[in-house]
């Protein structure tokens, strides 16, 4: 991997909370998976009318009631709250926020949750579409374990145009974006403290087709990004494709590019986890393995296997200690549980309650 990508990965690994521009939500507990519809009561603080107009002054905002809106969600069946997943926020050109079939296998393979607003198509006021996308991020992060380094945006046709106003305007919210067969020139006025995030760290994919009538405009906007010194841009032109949703294999290339700066961080997390495991620091190893598992792919599967093995090892010890306590052999259970606590620390499960019982 090029040196600059390694440095980018290191920055993302170390300073993700700072770049996220928002406090971490409370620990998520939702476990529901599959496709379903949600409604929310809270707006994102950054979707306030004055804030949107400041960052996107070419639009004029009108307020909306988020409680009257609905959102389509897809959570891959393999999701578990202890592993952070990526998030794909989608802006459609039509009024359906459901995930397109071309995206679905990639969401499952790459550990990504999908959310899209209904009635957020081209007929909707532009800043309503932008606001609803922000509201999606704000609310879904409270419910699910979302990796703050993998919050992505995409939109198709007019939805891509809306997204091209949103992504550069809110670089602390979205780490990357896929513009599908539509984008507008960049006129965003993001806060200056996020300039580095906006132009050097975030990723922007421009996807069109050889027969797409928006192809010339897409190329023009790409040239503008390059002239503005945006460092991470990728142009993808699908052969023989018109103004349509790209096929899955091309969408896979786009997601791989968004994830690219994080691959070095994932490898580093795996190496650190393996080192911690050798030192019998299983709790720290679990945290690092989960971080690597969040990236999906083959390395993610390996990390998930490690998480399962260390968790099973802990649970076996807890079960043995519980049996000793039930047999009135608490004095024998105490050193076992104390050793487990030292090894797993905050990942030790019910060890403290069992210790209390063993010491009675």
The runs of H, that is alpha helices, within 279-350 are 282-293, 297-326, 330-344
CATH of the domain at 205: 3.40.50.1820
The domain in which residue 291 lies consists of 264-358
pLDDT level of residue 19 (50, 70, 90 thresholds): very low
In whole angstroms, how far apart are CA 283 and each of 80, 133, 212, 322, 351?
18, 35, 51, 20, 13
Q: Above 60 in pLDDT, residue 281?
A: yes
Same domain, 151 and 242: yes
Provide, rounded to the nearest whole percent, the portion of the chain with pLDDT above 70.
91
Average confidence (pLDDT) over 45-72:
92
Half-sphere exposure of 25 (CA within 13 A, CB side): 18
Same domain, 185 and 274: no
* ∠ CA 337-27-322, rounded to 5°: 20
Contacts of 309 (CB under 8 A, 6+ apart): none
Q: Of 181, 212, 246, which closes a domain?
A: 246
pLDDT level of residue 302 (50, 70, 90 thresholds): confident
Helix (H, G, I), strand (E, B) or coil at 23: coil
Q: How many domains does the chain have?
A: 2
- What is the pLDDT at residue 155? 97
Which has the closest alpha carbon to 179: 105, 251, 106, 96?
251
pLDDT level of residue 18 (50, 70, 90 thresholds): very low
- What is the pLDDT at residue 17? 41
pLDDT level of residue 20 (50, 70, 90 thresholds): very low
- What is the pLDDT at residue 6? 47
**For 97-126, how does the pLDDT look when each residue is reduced to its tens digit (9 = 90+)?**
998 889 999 999 999 999 999 999 999 999
Same domain, 224 and 277: no
pLDDT level of residue 4 (50, 70, 90 thresholds): very low
Both tokens of 43, joined, read: 């707006």
What is the residue-averaged pLDDT of the chain? Answer: 90
Average confidence (pLDDT) over 74-96:
94
């Amino acid at each position: 991997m090029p040196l600059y990508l390694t440095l980018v990965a290191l920055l993302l690994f170390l300073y993700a909370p700072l770049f996220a521009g928002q406090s971490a939500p409370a620990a998520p507990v939702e476990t529901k998976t599959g496709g379903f519809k949600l409604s929310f009561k809270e707006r994102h603080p950054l979707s306030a009318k004055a804030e949107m107009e400041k960052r996107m002054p070419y639009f004029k905002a009108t307020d909306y009631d988020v409680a009257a809106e609905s959102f389509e969600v897809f959570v891959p069946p393999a999701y578990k709250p202890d592993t952070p997943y990526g998030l794909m926020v989608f802006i459609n050109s039509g009024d359906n926020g459901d995930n397109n079939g071309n995206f679905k296998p990639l969401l499952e393979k790459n550990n990504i949750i999908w959310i899209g607003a209904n009635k957020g198509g081209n007929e909707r006021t532009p800043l309503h579409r932008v606001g609803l996308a922000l509201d999606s991020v704000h609310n879904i992060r409270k419910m699910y374990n979302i990796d703050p380094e993998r919050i992505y945006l995409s939109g198709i046709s007019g939805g891509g145009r809306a997204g091209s106003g949103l992504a550069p305007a809110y670089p602390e919210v979205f780490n990357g974006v896929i513009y599908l067969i539509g984008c507008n020139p960049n006129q965003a006025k993001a806060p200056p403290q996020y300039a580095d995030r906006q132009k050097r760290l975030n990723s922007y994919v421009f996807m069109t087709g050889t027969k797409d009538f928006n192809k010339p405009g897409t190329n023009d906007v790409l040239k503008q990004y390059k002239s503005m010194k945006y460092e991470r841009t990728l142009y993808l032109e699908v052969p023989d494709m018109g103004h349509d949703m790209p096929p899955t294999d091309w969408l896979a290339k786009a997601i791989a590019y968004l994830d690219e700066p994080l691959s070095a961080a994932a490898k580093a997390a795996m190496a650190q986890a393996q080192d911690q495991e050798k030192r019998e620091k299983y709790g720290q190893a679990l945290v690092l393995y989960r971080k690597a598992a969040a990236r999906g792919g083959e390395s993610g599967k390996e990390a998930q296997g490690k998480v399962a093995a260390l968790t099973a090892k802990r649970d076996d010890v807890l079960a043995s200690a519980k049996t000793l306590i039930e047999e009135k052999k608490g004095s024998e259970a105490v050193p076992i549980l104390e050793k487990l606590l030292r090894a797993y620390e905050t990942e030790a499960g019910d060890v403290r309650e069992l210790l209390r019982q063993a010491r009675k």
